[in-house]
Amino acid sequence: MDRKRKKQLQNARVIMTNIFMGISVIGIVFVLMLIAMGYNFGENGLTQSGLIQISSNPKGANVVIDGEGQFSHTDFNKMLSAGEHRIKISKTGYDTWERTINVDPGLLTRVEWARLFPLKADISNVANFSSIRLAEFSTDRKRLFVIERDTPIAQYIDIQGEKIRSHKLSLNDALGKDKNVLDGQIDIVSWNETGNKLLATWTLEQNTTWYLIDLDNAAKSINLNKTYGINFSSVRISNDSASKLWALENGNLHIIDTSNRTISGILISNVEQFENNKDVVSYVGLDAEDHNYRKISIFKEGEKGSTHLLNLKEEKPTITLSMGTYWNESWVAYSIDSHIVVSSGTYPSFDKPSKDSLKEVVKRDLGYMPQYTGVNILGRIAMFGGGNNNTAIDIETRNNFDSTTDTELSTISWIDDYLTWENNNGAIVVRDFDGNNRREIITVNNEMPVIITENNRWLYFFETKTTEETSSEKPAQNTTENSSSSETIYTLKRQKLE
């Protein structure tokens, strides 16, 4: 073989080797990409798995999947075949959490609401109050606000730490020294995100006054009715600091700037009801020509007009509204009589292209008439309820769940980020948002609120007892006059969870 021919063969071998190596590398990368995307080869050929992420409170719990043995302790991730899987979570000294989870192919399924309760109660007394007029835990589960009946001094308490920290607030400073703050009824409408402002109402003789109460400095609290000279029918906090508020009066929607004490002109008229997700409002508006008909619309602060989502053909239907944001996904949910619609995506803007739009992700008939809605603090779960019926929509997975409660409820009460609670004749019953894992965790003798703190360390609740105090005066003319009175003592208690 001549030298030229030999050189050609060597070059050919090099080229073929490089081609083979290149194809091999591409093949290996392709296979690794399939594996990373959850694909695997089995009896049914190439199938795609899904990733499940399991968390629990407390952490370090044992996990059994489909009864096939123990996996890693929580929190952990695992690839599972698409479809239904039975998850069981347990830990020594705690009860068991169990349910079926549907894993979607190629997607991450987050199970982050599993909570285990101690089998042995470690309960301690925290504080005593007399004849409580108002008690409410903050939305972020970090504070408690308490007003006793016969004192103008309120308390707000940091409930997270080993030692609680109590702060006092003068109701005379917050509501006005010209008012008899011991009369009437005070209700908390909402807390701001940072937990230092309360939107509240004070009702006396059927007259309702709206207040923005500053917990750090009661003297900086604002009487909204007096400051703006308007009797508002509804007010909502618009931003984290509560420096802006949405306010409705006589069907007219305004926005209030509390930092400079200004109020806008009429932004929308003929508003019957509204909800807001910070600076975006969803509302039910009356038809301009015939007030028997309604429309559901979206309005963004700063825009010149509204975007109509739906014109309703029914006369005076029962409507509920709720809104939220989960991660970067905004949504609005509403019910029209027994029908619900959940739309998700981006809130539409006035006179903007249709790409800024919401898409329907859930649409169905509930079979009952919702009377109220609820949203968990994370914005992932939208709830509808009426009577003994509850329906939960998971914004992340688009799954929706129907369940029933032990008692007829008028609101959704959250005990943590994902569990709801109700008082069934003194038994505090908790459930996952989808109705699973019903458990009776404590017994109380009152209708006071309960909560699990944001750091998951404590379960707080109240117990009451009535004491009788009898005073006797010296007999006068063989007559003994006795006077007796009773006082209700509220004891704030907490159970250690971790």
Question: Can you give the residue ranges of every domain in the chain?
Answer: 39-115, 132-445
pLDDT tens across the length of the chain (498 residues):
566 666 666 666 666 676 667 666 665 654 455 455 555 544 555 467 899 999 999 999 999 999 887 667 898 888 998 999 999 999 999 999 999 999 988 889 999 999 999 999 999 999 999 999 999 999 999 999 999 999 999 999 999 999 999 999 999 999 998 788 999 999 999 999 999 999 999 999 989 999 999 999 999 999 999 999 999 999 999 999 999 999 999 999 999 999 999 999 999 999 999 999 999 999 999 987 788 889 999 999 999 999 999 999 888 899 999 999 999 899 999 999 999 999 999 999 997 766 568 999 999 999 999 999 999 999 999 999 999 999 999 999 999 999 999 999 999 999 999 999 999 999 999 999 999 999 999 999 999 999 999 999 999 999 999 886 434 444 444 434 444 567 899 999 999 999
Token pair of 336 as six digits = 């029209």
Task: Return the HEC string of the chain.
Answer: CCHHHHHHHHHHHHHHHHHHHHHHHHHHHHHHHHHHCCEEEECCEEEEEEEEEEEEECCCCEEEECCCCEECCCCEEEEEECEEEEEEEECCCECCEEEEEEECCCCEEEEEEEECCECCCCEEEEEEEECEEEEEECCCCCEEEEEECCCCEEEEEECCCCCCEEEEEEHHHHHCCCCCCCCCEEEEEEECCCCCEEEEEEEECCEEEEEEEECCCHHHCEEHHHHHCCCCCEEEECCCCCCEEEEEECCEEEEEECCCCEECCCCECCEEEEEEECCEEEEEEECCCCCCCEEEEEEECCCCCCEEEEECCCCCCCEEEEEEEECCEEEEEEEECCEEEEEEECCCCCCCCCCCCEEEEEEEECCCCCCEEEECCCCCEEEEEEEEEEEEEECCCCCEEEEEEEEEECCCCECCCCEEEEEECCEEEEEECCCCCCEEEEECCCCCCCEECCCCCEEEEEEEEEEEEEEECCCECCECCEEEEEEEEEEEEEEECC
Total count of residues recorded for the chain: 498
pLDDT for 477: 43
CATH of domain 132-445: 2.130.10.120
CATH topology of domain 39-115: Immunoglobulin-like (2.60.40)
